[in-house]
Amino acid sequence: MTSEKGPSTGDPTLRRRIEPWEFDVFYDPRELRKEACLLYEIKWGMSRKIWRSSGKNTTNHVEVNFIKKFTSERHFHPSISCSITWFLSWSPCWECSQAIREFLSQHPGVTLVIYVARLFWHMDQQNRQGLRDLVNSGVTIQIMRASEYYHCWRNFVNYPPGDEAHWPQYPPLWMMLYALELHCIILSLPPCLKISRRWQNHLTFFSLHLQNCHYQTIPPHILLATGLIHPSVAWR
């Protein structure tokens, strides 16, 4: 059943929620919106309470804004553990990746999981290396799936009463393409996903360009999940 109560009814996170139209324009994986948005969760030690809030680009990227806010407002003993989960509309650039690694090195009790809707300038070698460095530093990076979109809709969006289940259900193909490219990045493979934009008619084109190294290195089930690769059949 869908609750007829929206998040505004007795919800202490209301003032930190974003509007449905904001969620749609920021997190639609088919769109290449320039600005970035961050939805985040913080959990301290063994506490069951989760602090949720959001942030957007200012003169700094959202990742840097979060780090500055977190370090200026929170002073905790290194022995206290802290779990942070980010839901980013764009993956971190190489400079933000470096800032995140420095932040984590100064706060060894912090663990970070990052879900991203899109990969930021994924053809840029510095950005690719930055993401690999994050993974090698213990950061978990994944592409947002339907479950993450629904989680964000329920916990970060000021959806209308009765619309808890009416979250934007984007085509899974785009998520799979980005997930495939993220595997290429982590495995130090050449890019396989190419994105082109025709500004005159606002169309975005996604194309897949697989090389032998992709077929040889990427697990078959990941390639098959895109639906663009079909298993070979041996005929007798």
> What is the DSSP-derived secondary structure letter of residue 128?
H
Domain boundaries, given as residue ranges, for the chain = 14-168, 171-235
Catalytic residue among 41, 63, 164, 181: 63
pTM of the complete model: 0.89
Q: Which helix (H) or strand (E) holds 84?
A: strand 82-88
User: pLDDT tens digits, residue range 120-163?
Assistant: 999 999 999 999 999 999 999 999 999 999 999 999 999 888 77
Angle of helix 125-136 relative to helix 172-186, nearest 10 degrees, comes to 80
Rg, the chain, Cα only: 19
- The answer for 8, left when phi > 0, alpha when psi is -120 to 50, beta otherwise, is alpha
User: pLDDT tens digits, residue range 83-128?
Assistant: 999 999 999 999 999 999 999 999 999 999 999 999 999 999 999 9
63 among known catalytic residues: yes
Superfamily classification of domain 14-168: Cytidine Deaminase, domain 2 (3.40.140.10)
